[in-house]
Amino acid sequence: MNDCLFCKIIKGEIPSSKVYEDDTVYAFNDIEPQAPVHILIIPKEHISSAAEINADNSKLVAHIFEVAAKIAEDKGLADGFRIVTNCGDSAGQSVKHLHFHMLAGRDFTWPPG
């Protein structure tokens, strides 16, 4: 997907503020933060959304959650954090590359809007 914004960020073609990287996962600060901590955690493999998670790629998603726990520990987010993925237009997904928003540093309401 040459026209995918997050694939371009992974390749370094668009700058980003890196938080974490390994062979399969990349995490960076959201450009328009909705909380004091707002990190996007994405697979390096292009997966369009949570609707495309399947038996072949779900290990990658499990790994993303391991990375999230590591980031929480590294950044001292013991007070709590929220992980959100928007899937599809009605959920407000604007970038069609699977990403998990990791938000922290303030209180969050439930249910979300």
| Nearest distance, CB of residue 13 and Zn ion, angstroms | 12
**64 near 50, Cβ under 8 Å?**
no
Does residue 46 touch Zn ion according to CB under 5 A? yes
With tokens 């995490």, the residue in question is: 27
**Looking at beta carbons only, is 23 or 32 nearer to ligand AMP?**
32
Strand boundaries in the chain, DSSP class E: 18-21, 25-29, 37-43, 81-84, 100-104
**Looking at beta carbons only, is 55 or 112 nearer to ligand AMP?**
112
Subset of 30-89 contacting ligand AMP (CB under 6 A): 30-32, 40, 86
To which H or E segment does residue 66 belong?
helix 58-74
Please give the positions annotated as active site.
99
Q: Which does 95 bind (CB under 5 to 8 A by kind): Zn ion, ligand AMP, none?
A: ligand AMP
With tokens 């292009």, the residue in question is: 46
Subset of 71-110 contacting Zn ion (CB under 5 A): 97
CA pair distance 41, 54, nearest whole angstrom: 18
Which parts of this chain interact with ligand AMP (CB under 6 A)? 5, 14, 16, 30-32, 40, 86, 92-95
